[in-house]
Amino acid sequence: DIQMTQSPSSLSASVGDRVTITCQATQDMTIHLNWYQQKPGKAPKLLIYDISNLETGVPSRFGGSGSGTDFTFTISNLQPEDFATYYCQQYDILPFTFGPGTNVDVK
Protein backbone atom coordinates (compact mmCIF):
# COMPACT_ATOMS: atom_id res chain seq x y z
CA ASP A 1 0.00 0.00 0.00
CA ILE A 2 1.05 3.59 -0.53
CA GLN A 3 1.26 5.35 2.84
CA MET A 4 0.64 9.06 3.00
CA THR A 5 2.11 11.37 5.61
CA GLN A 6 1.20 15.00 6.20
CA SER A 7 2.94 17.79 7.99
CA PRO A 8 2.30 19.53 10.13
CA SER A 9 -0.39 17.55 11.92
CA SER A 10 -1.82 20.84 13.12
CA LEU A 11 -1.12 24.52 12.75
CA SER A 12 -2.46 27.77 14.09
CA ALA A 13 -2.96 30.67 11.73
CA SER A 14 -4.69 34.03 11.41
CA VAL A 15 -7.06 35.34 8.80
CA GLY A 16 -5.04 36.60 5.86
CA ASP A 17 -2.14 34.22 6.46
CA ARG A 18 -0.62 31.97 3.84
CA VAL A 19 -0.87 28.33 4.92
CA THR A 20 1.16 25.48 3.50
CA ILE A 21 0.63 21.78 4.13
CA THR A 22 2.86 19.06 2.76
CA CYS A 23 1.97 15.50 1.89
CA GLN A 24 4.49 12.77 1.23
CA ALA A 25 3.90 9.38 -0.35
CA THR A 26 5.95 6.25 0.29
CA GLN A 27 6.44 5.69 -3.42
CA ASP A 28 6.53 7.73 -6.58
CA MET A 29 3.14 8.68 -7.93
CA THR A 30 1.91 10.08 -11.20
CA ILE A 31 -0.77 12.75 -10.93
CA HIS A 32 -3.21 10.91 -8.76
CA LEU A 33 -3.36 13.07 -5.68
CA ASN A 34 -6.36 14.92 -4.26
CA TRP A 35 -6.99 17.30 -1.36
CA TYR A 36 -10.11 17.47 0.81
CA GLN A 37 -11.42 19.84 3.46
CA GLN A 38 -13.46 18.61 6.40
CA LYS A 39 -15.23 20.68 9.02
CA PRO A 40 -16.39 19.19 12.33
CA GLY A 41 -19.46 17.00 11.98
CA LYS A 42 -19.49 17.37 8.20
CA ALA A 43 -18.50 15.23 5.26
CA PRO A 44 -15.23 16.00 3.51
CA LYS A 45 -15.30 18.22 0.46
CA LEU A 46 -13.07 17.80 -2.58
CA LEU A 47 -10.96 20.92 -3.17
CA ILE A 48 -8.10 19.91 -5.47
CA TYR A 49 -7.78 16.91 -7.81
CA ASP A 50 -4.89 15.59 -9.87
CA ILE A 51 -2.37 17.53 -7.76
CA SER A 52 -3.29 21.04 -8.88
CA ASN A 53 -6.74 21.20 -10.44
CA LEU A 54 -9.34 23.23 -8.58
CA GLU A 55 -12.71 21.55 -8.19
CA THR A 56 -15.59 23.57 -9.60
CA GLY A 57 -16.68 26.32 -7.25
CA VAL A 58 -13.58 26.18 -5.05
CA PRO A 59 -12.01 29.61 -4.47
CA SER A 60 -8.72 30.34 -6.22
CA ARG A 61 -6.95 30.99 -2.91
CA PHE A 62 -6.60 27.19 -2.68
CA GLY A 63 -3.81 25.59 -4.65
CA GLY A 64 -1.80 22.42 -5.03
CA SER A 65 1.51 21.43 -6.51
CA GLY A 66 4.15 18.75 -6.42
CA SER A 67 5.34 15.59 -8.11
CA GLY A 68 6.88 12.23 -7.38
CA THR A 69 6.47 11.67 -3.68
CA ASP A 70 6.16 15.26 -2.41
CA PHE A 71 3.08 17.42 -2.68
CA THR A 72 2.02 20.78 -1.31
CA PHE A 73 -1.36 22.34 -0.53
CA THR A 74 -1.59 26.08 -0.08
CA ILE A 75 -4.19 28.55 1.09
CA SER A 76 -2.94 31.94 -0.04
CA ASN A 77 -5.16 34.25 2.03
CA LEU A 78 -6.77 32.33 4.86
CA GLN A 79 -10.43 33.13 5.38
CA PRO A 80 -12.57 32.48 8.47
CA GLU A 81 -14.38 29.63 6.71
CA ASP A 82 -11.09 27.87 5.98
CA PHE A 83 -10.47 26.71 9.54
CA ALA A 84 -10.84 22.97 9.12
CA THR A 85 -8.94 19.72 8.70
CA TYR A 86 -7.30 18.99 5.37
CA TYR A 87 -6.51 15.56 3.96
CA CYS A 88 -4.45 14.44 0.99
CA GLN A 89 -5.47 11.24 -0.80
CA GLN A 90 -3.75 9.10 -3.39
CA TYR A 91 -5.46 7.05 -6.02
CA ASP A 92 -2.40 5.85 -7.88
CA ILE A 93 -2.74 2.33 -6.54
CA LEU A 94 -5.48 0.49 -4.69
CA PRO A 95 -6.21 0.72 -1.85
CA PHE A 96 -6.83 4.43 -2.01
CA THR A 97 -5.22 5.98 1.03
CA PHE A 98 -5.51 9.26 2.87
CA GLY A 99 -3.01 11.23 4.82
CA PRO A 100 -3.68 11.56 8.57
CA GLY A 101 -4.94 15.10 8.21
CA THR A 102 -3.79 18.60 9.13
CA ASN A 103 -5.95 20.65 11.47
CA VAL A 104 -5.86 24.39 10.77
CA ASP A 105 -7.14 26.36 13.73
CA VAL A 106 -7.24 29.94 14.89
CA LYS A 107 -4.08 31.45 16.30
Partner 1 sequence: EVQLVESGGGLVKPGGSLRLSCAGSGFTFSNAWMNWVRQAPGKGLEWVARIKSKSVGGTIDYAAPVRGRFTISRDDSKGTVYLQINGLKTEDTAVYFCVTGGYRFDFWGQGTLVTVSS
Q: Which residues form the interface with partner 1 (CB under 8 A)?
A: 1, 32, 34, 36, 38, 42-46, 49-50, 55, 87, 89, 91, 94-101
CB of residue 8 to partner 1, shortest distance in Å: 15
CB of residue 23 to partner 1, shortest distance in Å: 13
Pick 14 or 42: Cβ nearer partner 1: 42
Pick 19 or 48: Cβ nearer partner 1: 48
Comparing CA positions, the residue from 107, 88, 79, 86 lying closest to residue 26 is 88
